[in-house]
Structure 1
Amino acid sequence: MTIEAREQLSNFSFSLEQLLPPPTAVMESPAPTSQDSTPPPPPPQEPPVFDRQIKMIRPPANAPAIVELPESFYKLSPNEVKSLYQSHVERRENLENRPLKTQKIRVAEEQERMKKYPKTTIRVRFPDSTMLQATFKSSERVRDLYDFVQSTLETPSRKFLLCLPPRSKLIEPELTLYKAGLAPASNVTFVWIEKAAPGQRDVPAVTQTYLSMMEDLPPPSVPSPVSSPGTASTASNSSASASTKKAGSMPKWLQKGLFKK
């Protein structure tokens, strides 16, 4: 190749480089900083556990024993089944005949009434006269009471019934404790409606966990009498009138002799 051809080839490559666009620089995206990254949402918080304030109470030594009644006493009679069905029908008819109030309004009214007694304290008396005391929300239902009592039993599979004295059976599980008439405090009788197995007759009703919590029944508090000013003046007036009567009942000759100067 001649010198002229080499010069022409170099001039051609130089002109080709001028025609080509310059290479663009690749812009690297900056690494995300801690300020740009959004923190993960906090885990959902569980609602606080309601304190039952559980107590196991030992009865006093002179406490009367519970009279054992036959199982037929606690079984539902045909009249009770009929009245229970009628109460359900009447409740449904009352809801249907009140179209002006929605379910939301009725629930709000019931909650407003329950604000007066937000908590319900219940004592469950077992056949051996021991008592289990616990606190519930008044908005909880009768089935919640049954579930709690069942969780404390040594034989939870054995059927039982809870009654209000003298013979009101708690048999409507969806009723709130407020509607069932248990608020603000009630005594409930525990009754077995299923016979015990031969090896379970001497077994205590509750588990050892609750038996270890046993405490004596506190004595009832007797308020001390408070004397008011009216009571004191009445007492002084009565004593003065009594002395006047005594003085008036004395003979005149004795009065002259005693009060003679």
Structure 2
Amino acid sequence: MIHNFQTLIDALRSAEPIQLELDRNLQVLLPSQAAAKVQLPSSFYALSPEEIKREQQLRTEAIERSQMLRTKAMREKDELREMKKYKFAIIRIRFPDGILLQGTFSVYERFMEIQEFVQENLEHSGLPFVLNTPTGHKLILDEDANKTLIDLRLVPATVLNFAWHSSVIEEINKSPNKDMYLKPDVMVLVREV
């Protein structure tokens, strides 16, 4: 019995760890599906007395903070602390035809993971493209590749706008399927309404 136990301990010590892989939960959405509102039951909005007290306390603290003079660094620190509450981020990529590609990412993953996610689902894979934030900031692979989603302020969710890189627009326009962005086997995933 002790010999078997020692064998098991040795096996555990010599074993290699299993790397966890986050399920991207790949989804393809039509513009109408992305805009659809989620209907919640009225019980969702009912608060217990403890929840009401906690909400009042949070509002009081927020009012006190807003009346206090604070530096930009203090505000950014609070914003980062708020973002670090999240473990995952939902990233949607909006293509010019309105189709949205959605994936789930860890907030500590790098921008290059989003880039690779988009690349592996494109019909014209291998061609360079650009992703823009809703504010119009262009995410550049050379500069942003190793920045985390928190660093880029893409947490808890964001929609990035897709565009082909200017160096390949002419090549794409000559392609017979120039208006097709995602692979056909990915487009099959469009959810039925």
TM-score range (shorter-chain normalised) is: 0.5 to 0.7
Q: Which residue of 2 aligns with 1:206?
A: 182
Q: How much has 1:138 moved relative to structure 2?
A: 0.6
Counterpart selection for 1:57 from 10, 29, 36: 29
C-alpha distance in 1 between matches for 2:5 and 2:88: 46
Counterpart position of 2:121: 152
- 1:172-196 per-residue CA deviation (whole Å, 9 max, x = no partner) reads 1111111101001101100011221
Once the two structures are superposed, what CA deviation does each residue of 1:139-163 show, in whole Å capped at 9, x if it has no partner? 1111111011111111111110000
* Structure showing greater relative contact order (alpha-carbon pairs closer than 8 Å, 6 or more residues apart): 2
**Contact 1:57 1:216 survives alignment (8 Å):** no
Q: Which blocks of at least 5 consecutive residues in structure 2 are unaligned?
A: 36-79
- Give the aligned partner of residue 65 of structure 2: none
State the aligned residue count.
Answer: 139
Q: Within 5 Å, which residues of 2 pair with 1:1-261?
A: 35=3, 39=7, 41-42=11-12, 43-60=15-32, 115-171=84-140, 172-193=144-165, 194-195=168-169, 196=172, 198-202=174-178, 204-215=180-191
Q: Which amino acid aligns with 1:41?
A: A
2 CA distance for matches of 1:127 and 1:214? 16
CA distance in 1: counterparts of 2:164 and 2:5, whole angstroms: 63
Distance, in Å, in 2 between the alignment partners of 1:200 and 1:41 is 57
Are residues 44 and 204 of structure 1, via their aligned partners in 2, closer, same or farther at CA, if it must alter by over 3 Å?
Answer: same
Distance 2:134 2:178 in 1: 26
Deviations 1:52-90 (A, max 9, x none): 1211001239x9xxxxxxxxxxxxxxxxxxxxxxxxxxx
- Counterpart secondary structure, 2:175: helix
Task: Tell me the secondary structure at the aligned position of residue 140 of structure 1.
Answer: coil
Return the index of the structure with the highest Cα Rg.
1
TM superposition shift of 1:197? 6.0
TM-score by length of 1: 0.47
Provide, for residues 234-259 of structure 1, a one-character-per-residue CA deviation record: whole Å limited to 9, x for no partner: xxxxxxxxxxxxxxxxxxxxxxxxxx
Instruction: State TM-score, norm by structure 2.
Output: 0.62
* Structure 2 CA distance for aligned equivalents of residues 188 and 148 of structure 1: 13
Q: Which amino acid aligns with 1:187?
A: V
Q: Aligned letter for 2:132?
A: C
CA deviation string 1:199-221 (max 9, x = no partner): 3443521112211110257xxxx
Q: 1:173 and 1:160, CA in 2 relative to 1: closer, same or farther beyond 3 A?
A: same
Deviation at 1:45, TM superposition (A): 3.5
Cα separation, 2, equivalents of 1:143 and 1:52: 15
CA distance in 1, matches of 2:5, 2:149: 50
RMSD: 3.1
CA distance in 2, matches of 1:143, 1:51: 17
Query: Identity, % of aligned pairs?
Result: 28
